[in-house]
Structure 1
Amino acid sequence: MNGEFSGEKMVYLVDRMDCPSCARSLEKGIGQMKDILDVKVNYSTAKMQVTAANEAALLPVENQVEKLGFKAQAVQGNTRTYHVTGMDCGSCAKSIENHLGLQPAVQKVSVSFASGKMKVEHTNSPGEIIKETAKIGFKAELEEAGENPVSGRKDHLWLILSGLLIAAGFAGTYFDIPAAFSILFYAGAMVISGLKPVKAAFYSIKSRSLDMNVLMSAAAIGAALIGEWLEGATVVWLFALGNVLQNKSIEQTRKSIRGLMDLAPPEAWVKIGTEFVKKAAAEAVPGTIILVKPGDKIPLDGEVVKGTSSINQAPITGESIPIDKAAGDSVFAGTINGHGTLEIKVTKHSEDTALAKIIHLVEEAQEQKAPTEAFIDKFAAIYTPIVFVLALLIMVLPPLLSLGTWGEWFYKGLELLVIACPCALVISTPVAIVSAIGNAARNGILIKGGTFLEKAGALTAIAFDKTGTLTEGRPAVTHVKAEEGTQDELLAIAYALEHDSTHPIAKSITEFARQRGAVRFTAENHRNIAGRGVQGEIDGMVYFAGNRALFEGKKVSIEAPDEEGETMIWIGTEEKILGSIAVSDTIRDSAAAAIRALAGKGIRETIMLTGDNEGTAKKIASEAHVTRYFAELLPEDKVTAVQKLQQEGHLTAMVGDGINDAPALAAADIGIAMGGAGTDTAMETADIVLMADNLDKLPHTISLSKKALRIIKQNIWFSILIKAAALALIFPGYLTLWMAVLSDTGAALIVILNALRLLKVKD
């Protein structure tokens, strides 16, 4: 399919139109196709614009144009995303890129082995891209066309048949059946299992790629040439079996992300007039009212306008405890409604929800190579051709030098060909990284790439912004002290004076009084005194509530000192002080526990950064159990503090809200934003995002990263040792060809299964 693509619009150049009636015929013929919304044909410019409900609906347009007697041609290239199955290591992705890169209609191609996706900018039809991908042995399908492609039962049946033929040929040697029949069985097995890799090898060589298909095909054909039919058949069968098992295993990692896509229901109960009608969630625009029944998943981000319920936000934020929601509260797509029916006003389109952004960012993260992965890919690109040339030399040089027979050395060369593919080594890192990123996403942690996953495991210091990160970010009453009368009487007076104020401290006092059930008197002649407090008249008596400065010049003096790290609100009259209410920004319940847990994860320094005074900083630092703190900092001073830690030799992370702390987040080796589910800025600015508005998941992030690094190292060393062992066994003659294949495919499978353990890491 060709043309300019914008949304679901495609522009074609149409040939063979000889009159305006041809344009009308085309409009009518194409317009009757399924999911085609609009067709406009301009006879003068010979252009046709087709608007469809989805890109998949545009797939058959060109064929239909041809059936109507015309021909459609591209205006310019389009970038489309395809799902690809059959890739079992990074070299497969490289082979596809090389092959498609040689096609004249392809401007740009990028294949991610980790996510199983391919992005192609091309001027020909998706059908042509799919056909070219199939030539090299892989199955591609347009992402918009629906479900991801999966390998069908047909491949498995051919594999079973191939195995039965090998078994029949092998059994023939024990039942006095002529050798020709056994060879025939082996040859049949080789054709069945080997046709696909040989075909792929042809196109790989054509595109100058040296992948596993080339090496296995050469080994199998070589074995047949020297009469080792059983070996050749076993090689291709084990190779095919290994591919099936590897693909199934790798799919487990990709499902970890696709599971996120299934969180939001595709349909919603949308309010039309006074009725609720079930419609596609994508059709509900911002401002629409939707109904969510108890137990249902919320289809779109929105704000509760009616009803109360508890919402399980674990799919987005990782929080295990449901959160109570009422009118005015925000809710996220993919979360689960508890006991109450809710009416929700939609605030974002389906493609802009927090869940949609998480999926998009996680998919992007999967496609970014970590430093270890990039190094191994470079190593493999050098290693494979060197070993391939070495194999050819071993086949030729020793016999020429009369050091053995041609058959003997040819066989050793074939074994070396099989070992030349570093499949297990190449696959060792990306599968581990994708598994870890998938695990993190399901636990409310967004890691934006393998680079940050690797770095997180090596952190030695973490700096925290105080306000809103270690603390709640809003003042709360810590204690009430009555000098005269009771606490309840003092609270009742404070409640009356502060009730109408919008100041955060006033709000905290009124909320505390309300929760304590304080009686609210009526305050008349209420007046705000800027920078000092408030005054009001209760039962004919004037009362004041505010700081020390408010009582200056009155007939009272405040002797008691302010509590360290707290803001004191004094309540009294012209003649006497009735008492005080202490207010402070309280530490989060999860902060101290999270910081203690980090100490057990190898984090040597935890540092608090704040603009508050020394007294407040010291108090919060003590409660949070951080090892150090820096007080009275301006935003640029936080950057300096982070740089100081780096100069001390620490790999440093900065944790903040992603907005006010942007400079410090950028200066740190890793920027970690908290509360990403509610702020787009946090998602965009940080390297790692904790979707919940607390630090509970930070220790899990460090644990997961350290575990991922351990598994990556295990996989790399295991892959290298298996190759070294196989190489060492070639020359004494202990290694057979089928053992070489088994060592390669077996090692790759073990590496994948080891990496899959990361999907289940809990702490």
Structure 2
Amino acid sequence: MTANDTSGRHDWTVTGMDCAACATKITTALERLPGVADVQVGVMSERLSLRLEAGTTGRQEVETTVKKLGYGIAPKGQSTGKRKFVMPATPANDHDEHDHAGHDRSKQDDDDHDDHEGHNHSRHDQAKPAKDKAGVEDHSGHGGPGHTHATAPEDMGKHWYQTTKGKLVIGTGLLLAAATAVKLLASEQVALWAFVAACLIGVAPVARRAFAALRAGIPFTIEGLMTIAAVGALFIGAAEEAALVVFLFAVGEVLEGIAADRARASIRALADLVPKTALVEENGVTREVDAASLEIGQLVLVRPGDRIPADGTIAEGNSGIDESPVTGESMPKTKGQGDAVFAGSINAEAALRIIVTKAAEDNTISRIIALVEEAETARAPTERFIDRFSRYYMPAITGLAALVAIVPPLFFGQVWDTWIYRGLALLLIGCPCALVISVPASIASALSAGAKRGILMKGGSVIEAVARVTQVAFDKTGTLTAGRPAVTDVVVLDGSEADLLAVAAGVEAGSSHPLAEAILRWAADAGVAALPSKEAKALIGKGAQALVAGQTAWVASPRFASESGALDGSGSRRASEMEAEGKTVVVVFGQGHALGLIAMRDEPREDAKMAVAHLSDMGVTSVMLTGDNARTGAAIAGALGMEHRADLMPDDKVTAI
């Protein structure tokens, strides 16, 4: 297919944009090309999307036009080639796992105790990259299929002072300072040339962008106004003022870039949830491939501690899945054969084999990124007005400055230098950069701030509508709750609370599971030391077991404790009462007898109830949207006095909104 045969919708990654003026410049230049329609440019997402008609403008022409304007451009989604190695296939359960009881999100029986599942975690430093039997270490924990920068700009990942613009600001600033010092201490004539040098060095890249825009048919740009003002100031002998203005403009551009990069960081963080590589099994042989190349139906091996590289279904194995990177829910879920898993989730301990059900560009993380990008390109009414206004404002201010510089000397005999100076001053004062940037910057700031807190806002129009809302939807974990489980109840059935906690802490010693950490924190706060333990192991879907002070002890689900004969009817009823409150209950027991129950829950934040009450006083109703199960959701929502919807994925939450 030739460049001019390409039709349909096309996407690129564009780098170097700092503000809405950049987006406007690119949009205007591309809209002048034949056959180009529906141009969408996102500054924060660095995204360019447009439609091409067959037989007119091709992709190459689009890329050339953008490059001439001074921006970097590359096809979106380009990835590197595959990296392969061959290793023996590994058994599905070749690691020690550790399991906790929790709320059901897997396929269990329907009686009172069958809605509990194991929350598993490994005792083998699961956060570290796993190694295969050939000793090859996996570094696949970062990267984003479907959202990679194929040709990253040379300044990406650098501190501001290491970038091209940063170096320009520093160099111009040093020249400006040196010229000022020479003016004060030595010769003004020498200082004049230093000011001229500072001005020319600083304005050169600005002038290049202005001329590029002019060649693209965009004569009125911020860069153009700045270039005219700076060069004009030099001609009338105001080199010091010209150098200072150029320096301040460059500082402003650097600050814009820093702000834009911070806003983009939230989107990049989403992409980094998915590993760059995956282990594909074919004919008993495992090979490492680019995660972006995974195809539906392929079998993928996910080792303990690895992130899941694609949406899929478990074909073999059972393990605790930490879905907090995707859903925000702090409690891992125990999943087995036939259960769905999502890209970006963490396999907590046992090896799994997963059948890929969605391609990289359609997985859960990619869909969330697409929603964020769409939100950023959905322009608010005020933003659209400001953009239209600036299109007429810039030619008007340029014409007015020309009139100020020419009319008084030409028709009224005034001094040319004075009025040219005033005309140039009007150009600088009337520069619409702040006007053009103000609304998009505030919207981008709100979008990025929301993304950092797990809130997806569908663009500026929604943000502007906040003043008129009658209902607010809240995420649960980390927004209404603390974001991690805490011990709420300790029920002693035999012995003392100190004995109960010492045994429980001994079983949990060294574990990084959220429930285990909650128990260990509670024991430490109570001043109880964990009893010495060894031979710890997991009983998947049931609990954790260890040899504590020479005797076997368990921290496990009420169901497993009842089946083991350690929990009687009264203990089971007490456990059920606490579970009805949305709490996760574990039983601490030894051979044939239970020491007690420990209940845990991700508790509401102290200010959450007050916030909901304030909204209610304003006539705004609140609803909680959570990926947690219905029982936990109902308990938290009831405590806060709000409605709720449970068992939701991020895209389900967007649909609900």
Return the TM-score normalized by structure 2.
0.59
C-alpha displacement at 1:202, in angstroms? 3.1
Alignment of 1:648-687 (within 5 A): 675-677=648-650, 682=652, 685-686=655-656
- The residue matched to 2:456 in structure 1 has which SS? strand
Indicate yes or no: 2:428 matched with 1:415.
no
Equivalent residue, structure 1, for 2:325: 315
Q: Is the 8 A contact 2:375 2:458 kept in 1?
A: yes
Residue from 316, 328, 336 that aligns with 2:346 = 336
In 2, the alpha carbon distance for the partners of 1:319 and 1:362 equals 20
Q: Spell out the pairing of 1:329-478 with structure 2 (5 A cutoff).
A: 329-399=339-409, 405-441=415-451, 443-456=453-466, 458-461=468-471
Per-residue Cα deviation, 1:260-300 (whole angstroms, up to 9, x for no partner): 11110121122223343322224443343322222211111
Equivalent position to 2:621, from 600, 606, 612: 606
CA distance in 2 between partners of 1:516 and 1:596 (Å)? 39
Gap change, CA 1:127 and 1:247, over 3 Å in 2: farther
CA distance in 2, matches of 1:239, 1:513: 67
Q: Distance in 1 between matches of 2:245 and 2:622?
A: 58
Of the three residues 116, 139, 143, the one matched with 2:76 is 143
1:253/1:431 contact within 8 Å kept = no
Give the Cα–Cα distance (whole angstroms) in 2 for the partners of residues 151 and 263 of structure 1.
Answer: 23
Give the secondary structure class of the aligned counterpart of 2:48.
strand
Aligned residues of 1:77 and 1:107 also touching (Cα < 8 A): no
Kindly tell me: are residues 313 and 433 of structure 1, through their superposed partners in 2, closer, same or farther at Cα, counting changes over 3 Å? Answer: farther
Residues 123-272 of structure 1: pairs in structure 2 closer than 5 A: 123=56, 126-145=59-78, 146-149=150-153, 151=155, 153-174=163-184, 176-177=186-187, 179=189, 181-205=190-214, 207-272=217-282
1:407-427 Cα deviation digits (max 9, x unpaired): 333323222211222323332
Amino acid at match of 1:370: A
Maintained 8 Å contact 1:311/1:323 = yes
Does structure 2 retain, via aligned residues, the 8 Å contact 1:314–1:443?
no
In 2, distance between residues paired with 1:274 and 1:224? 74
Distance 2:16 2:242 in 1: 22
In structure 1, list runs of 5 or more residues that go unmatched.
1-10, 13-72, 465-511, 521-565, 567-587, 609-618, 628-653, 658-673, 689-763
Contact 1:92–1:211 (Cα < 8 Å) also in 2: no
Mean CA deviation greater in 121-130 or 319-328:
121-130
Q: Residue type of the partner of 1:598?
A: V
- Which of the two has higher C-alpha Rg? 1
Q: Do the aligned partners of residues 216 and 76 (structure 1) sit closer, same or farther apart at CA in structure 2, a change above 3 Å counting?
A: same
The Cα shift of 1:589 comes to 8.9
Deviation per CA, 1:122-152, whole angstroms, max 9, x where unpaired?
5556554344323333333332440443547
**How much has 1:259 moved relative to structure 2?**
1.5
- Kept in 1: contact 2:314–2:340 (CA 8 A): yes
**How has the CA–CA distance of structure 1 residues 237 and 86 changed in structure 2, closer, same or farther, with 3 Å as cutoff?**
farther
Report what 1:581 is aligned to.
Answer: none
Task: Tell me whether 101-110 or 336-345 shows the greater mean CA deviation.
Answer: 101-110
| Distance in 2 (alpha carbons) for counterparts of 1:457 and 1:318 | 27
Partner of 1:45: none
For the pair 1:83 / 2:13, whether they are aligned, the reply is yes
* Residue type at the aligned position of 2:613: A
Offset at 1:317?
A: 1.1
**1:98 correspondence with 2:113:** no
Deviation at 1:350, TM superposition (A): 1.9
Cα deviations by residue, 1:636-685 (Å, 9 ceiling, x for unpaired): xxxxxxxxxxxxxxxxxx9768xxxxxxxxxxxxxxxx7134xx6x3674
The answer as to whether partners of 1:114 and 1:430 remain within 8 angstroms in 2 is no
The equivalences for 1:531-680 within 5 A come to 597-601=611-615, 604-606=619-621, 623=638, 675-677=648-650
Using a 3 Å threshold, how does the CA distance of structure 1 residues 331 and 439 change in structure 2: closer, same or farther? farther
Deviation of the 1:85 alpha carbon: 3.0
In 2, distance between residues paired with 1:344 and 1:102? 48
- 2:504 aligns with none
Q: Deviations over 1:331-387 (max 9, x none)?
A: 211112223333333322222211111111111111111233223333434444443
Checking the alignment, whether the CA contact within 8 Å between 1:592 and 1:625 is kept in structure 2 is no
- SS, match of residue 280 in structure 2: strand
- Worse-superposed segment, 421-430 or 383-392: 383-392
Tell me, yes or no, if the aligned pair for 1:88 and 1:243 is still in contact at 8 Å.
Answer: yes
CA RMSD of aligned residues (A): 4.1
Partner of 2:106: none
Deviations 1:4-54 (A, max 9, x none): xxxxxxx13xxxxxxxxxxxxxxxxxxxxxxxxxxxxxxxxxxxxxxxxxx
State the TM-score, normalizing by the size of structure 1: 0.52
Distance 1:216 1:191 in 2: 12
- Could you report, residue by residue, the CA deviation over 1:463-486 in whole angstroms, capped at 9, with x for unpaired residues? 99xxxxxxxxxxxxxxxxxxxxxx
Partner of 1:46 in structure 2?
none
Gaps of 5+ in 2: 79-149, 157-162, 475-556, 566-579, 581-601, 624-633
Instruction: Give the corresponding residue for 1:110.
Output: 40
User: Structure 1 residues 100, 398: closer, same or farther in 2, change over 3 A?
Assistant: same
CA contact (8 A) 1:377 1:426 kept: yes
Distance (whole Å) between structure 1 residues aligned to residue 187 and residue 372 of structure 2: 58
Number of aligned residue pairs:
451
How far did residue 326 of structure 1 move?
A: 3.6
Report deviation, 1:84. Answer: 2.6
Q: Which amino acid aligns with 2:207?
A: V
Q: Which residue of 1 aligns with 2:112?
A: none
Alignment of 1:275-294 (within 5 A): 275-294=285-304
Q: Give the whole-Å Cα distance in 1 for the aligned partners of 2:640 and 2:364.
A: 33
Change beyond 3 A, Cα 1:142–1:235: farther
Native 8 Å contact 1:294 1:340 kept in 2? yes
Question: 2:165–2:250: 8 Å Cα contact kept in structure 1?
Answer: no
Structure 2 counterpart SS, 1:173: helix
**Aligned position for 2:593:** none
Given that 1:309 and 1:325 are in contact with CA atoms closer than 8 Å, whether structure 2 keeps it comes out as yes
SS at match of 2:426: helix
Q: How far is the alpha carbon of 1:252 from its aligned partner?
A: 1.3
In the alignment, the residues of structure 2 paired with residue 205 and residue 147 of structure 1 have an alpha-carbon distance, to the nearest angstrom, of: 27
Residues 209 and 256 (structure 1 numbering): CA distance in 2 closer, same or farther, change over 3 Å? farther
Relative contact order (C-alpha < 8 Å, sep 6+): which is higher?
A: 2
Q: Are the counterparts in 1 of residues 33 and 57 from structure 2 also a CA contact under 8 Å?
A: no
1:107-133 Cα shifts (integer Å, max 9, x gaps): 564323342222344555655434432
**Shift of the alpha carbon at 1:209?**
4.6
Seen in structure 2, the aligned counterparts of structure 1 residues 403 and 459 have a Cα distance that, compared at 3 Å, is: farther
